[in-house]
Structure 1
Amino acid sequence: MTAFSLHRTSPASPAEVWDVLTDFAGHERWIPLTTMRVDPGEPRVGWGWAGVSGIGPLGFADAMVLTRWEPPTAEGEGAAGGRFAMLKVGRLLDGWADVRVEPAPGGGAAVTWTEDISLRPRPLRRVSQPAVDRAARAMFASALDAMLEEAARRTAGTAA
């Protein structure tokens, strides 16, 4: 397993970025060939969701559960960033993610998304990991960029 980190900034506020990143049902808008299933209620530690990816009968569920849930505090003086972490608990994918949203110097938000993803069962990892690492980094970078564009559009829409 090889963890990778993506670092991005956005002109949107940390709260707006947080709202987009934690709209887990909405992640299907940014991950190709995927539909999302989410637990009822609001996200919290122990809450879960799954991205079901594939075409027809050829697919798999990437099941996850939240292990940390710390939304950002109010904007302005004393504002603090937010953080969530999750563990992959599905049959095919193993790993974790840790996502931080902080106020950026000069305004907006800074995001660090760290992900470690590999295939189960363990014997597949050695041969599959280089390809999994490349594909995961590219997919998450594209999805994160699109999510931050959405947060910026929302911010621009409220400023108008």
Structure 2
Amino acid sequence: MAPFLIERRSRLPVDEAWRRLTHWERHAVSVPLTRITVTTPPPSGTGTRFTARTRLGPLALDDPMEVVRWQPPTGHGPGRCRLEKRGRAITGWAEIEVYGHGAGSRARWTEELRIRGVPRVFDPLTAWAGRLVFGRALRRLLDG
């Protein structure tokens, strides 16, 4: 697995940061060549399933995910969400956490990513690419 961690501070209140980070279709705006389709009815919560499809010409890669933990923020604690990657090509998990931080919030994205068929020797490169792509997505979701 290629683990990585990204943290960002935001001026947004915790509830708004949580709403933006768990609005799954919005993630596609920040990830190049990707479209996200939610396959379960709203609202989001445990059991929500969606697929991120990245396409470059005739080549497409699906990354189906399921929310297995859903704990929205409360006045007493942070919001936490865990996604399990259920694909044939991409496996692993991601966790999104949103904490209060002064007048704003702090978001933490932790992920362990595995791309089947890619030798483990490339895990550092995979983690670097994950930090780059998801760091950009996190910044755009919180700033946009």
TM-score range, shorter chain: over 0.9
State the match for 1:68 in structure 2.
69
Asked if 2 retains the 8 angstrom alpha-carbon contact of 1:118 and 1:125, the reply is: no
> By percentage of residues, which structure has more helix?
1
Confirm or deny: 8 A CA contact 2:4 2:130 kept in the other structure: no
Structure 1 Cα separation of the partners of residues 130 and 54 of structure 2: 14
Confirm whether residue 26 of structure 1 aligns to residue 23 of structure 2: no
Residue 47 of structure 1 corresponds to: 48
Q: Which structure is higher in strand share?
A: 2
- What is the CA distance between 1:130 and its match in structure 2? 2.7
TM-score by length of 1: 0.84
Residue 138 of structure 2: SS of its match in structure 1? helix
Q: Distance in 1 between matches of 2:68 and 2:40?
A: 17
Deviation at 1:137, TM superposition (A): 1.1
Percent same amino acid among aligned pairs? Answer: 34
Deviation at 1:60, TM superposition (A): 0.7
**In structure 2, distance between residues paired with 1:4 and 1:133:** 6
Alpha-carbon distance, 1:136 to partner: 0.9
* Worse-matched range after superposition: 138-147 or 40-49: 40-49
- In 1: Cα distance, 2:65 partner to 2:116 partner: 14
Matched, 1:117 2:113: yes
Equivalent-residue separation in structure 2 for 1:27 and 1:8 (angstroms)? 16
Q: Which runs of 5+ in 2 are unaligned?
A: none
Deviation at 1:79, TM superposition (A): 4.2
Task: Give the TM-score taking structure 2 as reference length.
Answer: 0.92
Aligned pair count? 143
Partner of residue 35, structure 1: 35
CA drift at 1:98: 1.0
* 3-state SS of paired residue (2:120): helix
Partner of 1:135: 129
The Cα shift of 1:64 comes to: 0.6
* Residues 40, 50 of structure 2: 8 Å contact kept: no
- Structure 1, unmatched stretches of 5+, are 151-160
Find the aligned partners of 1:55 and 1:46 in 2 and give their Cα distance.
29
Q: Which moved more, 1:129-138 or 1:110-119?
A: 129-138
Give the alignment's Cα RMSD to 1 decimal.
Answer: 1.4
